[in-house]
């Protein structure tokens, strides 16, 4: 039975309503398709309607199969779902954008996406996967790529279009020529990387922020120890909530959509239960004052691999 919890939504500048929480369907640990399918179906039963994937994740097909099964069973309907996917960096050439989205729609067994994002401002050679190398990086033409994204929007293939991993500088450059402004910027955000400067900019220009790795990506080689932070642990004890719930609730109260990734039933349910309680103003102040890590995940990996950020000085979005 679906959860009776009503999930709040944020209204995007496109007029579309985005549910405040979604299930991230990245597959960094190479889980079998059967596990992902079961997780998606469980999430729908819990009350999730928002699912986030990407071409590079390799999960579009399994997510599409799971959604098709749920719709066929009458558990949900296409109209009740919010599905996001992303244009990978090797398809930035304007002539490749529409066809990339059409392939994504085929994979997902859908006629349209609710949100389509440029996965990264970095353009890569055709066929480049992760991790990219410095020699795979090509000169970027975001103006041309974004124009093709606008074509996707105008043709109804995506109800909203946006970007991911864009800095303030990159957003400002895009907005200077965009006919359709990006509805969303999906970025790393959690209590140890709060994106204060970027969120202030996005709020000022009407771009909604979505947080990937809103729990700090624990258990990954690039993740943080956010959930063991003493401030978060203290507040979780005070409210009798898990550290993950505190981190997610904090983002939500800042007006940010969260897309935690988990294929574990108990965690999927736990992460969803953040809407019937509140963090106090004091809690929010204490969380917002947590010491920040030196670099974002994107910045750290880019510098290590010699990609778009060569040095720390290139990372202009570090919070003061």
CA 110, 267, 219: angle at the middle one, nearest 5?
Answer: 95
57 counts as catalytic: yes
How far are the Cα atoms of 230, 259, 277 from residue 291, in angstroms, in the given order?
11, 23, 25
Under 8 Å between Cβ of 171 and 205: yes
Q: Residues 57, 112, 116, 222: which is the catalytic one?
A: 57
* The token pair that represents 87 in the structure block: 């244009």
SS3 track for the chain: CCCCCCCCEEECCCCCEEECECEECCCCCCCCHHHHHHHHHHHHHHCCCEEECCHHHCCHHHHHHHHHHHHHCCCCCHHHCEEEEEECHHHCCHHHHHHHHHHHHHHHCCCCECEEEECCCCEECCCCCCCCCHHHEECCCHHHHHHHHHHHHHCCCECCEEEECCCHHHHHHHHCCCCCCCCEEEEECECCECCHHHHHHHHHHCCEEEEECCCCCCCCCCCCCHHHCHHHHHHHHHHCCCHHHHHHHHHHHCCCEECCECCCHHHHHHHHCCCCCCCCHHHHHHHHCCCCCCCCHHHHHHHHHCCCCCCHHHCCCCCC
CA atoms of 134 and 262, how far apart (whole Å) = 31
Give the residue numbers annotated as catalytic, written as ranges.
Answer: 57
């Amino acid at each position: 039975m679906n959860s009776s919890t009503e999930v709040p939504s944020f209204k995007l500048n496109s007029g579309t309503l985005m549910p405040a929480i979604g299930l991230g369907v990245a597959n960094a640990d190479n889980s079998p398709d059967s596990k992902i399918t079961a997780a998606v179906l469980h999430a729908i039963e819990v009350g999730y309607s928002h699912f986030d994937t990407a071409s590079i994740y390799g999960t579009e097909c399994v997510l599409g199969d799971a959604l098709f099964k749920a719709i066929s069973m009458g558990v949900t309907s296409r109209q009740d779902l919010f599905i996001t996917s992303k244009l990978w960096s090797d398809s930035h050439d304007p002539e490749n954008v529409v066809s990339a989205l059409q392939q994504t729609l085929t994979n997902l067994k859908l006629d349209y996406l609710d949100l389509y994002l440029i996965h990264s401002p970095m353009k890569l050679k055709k066929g480049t996967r992760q991790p990219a190398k410095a020699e795979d990086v090509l000169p970027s033409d975001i103006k041309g790529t974004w124009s093709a994204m606008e074509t996707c929007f105008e043709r109804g293939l995506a109800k909203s279009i946006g970007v991911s991993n864009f800095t303030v500088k990159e957003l400002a450059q895009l907005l200077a020529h965009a006919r359709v402004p990006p509805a969303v910027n999906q970025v790393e955000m959690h209590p140890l990387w709060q994106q204060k400067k970027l969120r202030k900019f996005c709020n000022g220009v009407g771009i909604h922020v979505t947080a990937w790795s809103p729990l700090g990506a624990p258990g990954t080689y690039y993740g943080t120890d956010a959930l063991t932070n003493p401030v978060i642990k203290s507040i979780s004890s005070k409210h009798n909530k898990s550290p993950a719930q505190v981190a997610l609730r904090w983002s939500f109260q800042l007006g940010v959509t969260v897309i935690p990734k988990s294929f574990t039933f108990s965690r999927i349910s736990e992460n969803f239960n953040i809407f019937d309680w509140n963090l106090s103003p004091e809690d929010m102040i204490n969380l917002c004052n947590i010491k920040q890590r030196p670099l974002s995940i994107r910045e750290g990996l880019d510098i290590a691999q010699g990609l778009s950020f060569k040095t720390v000085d290139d990372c202009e979005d570090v919070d003061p």
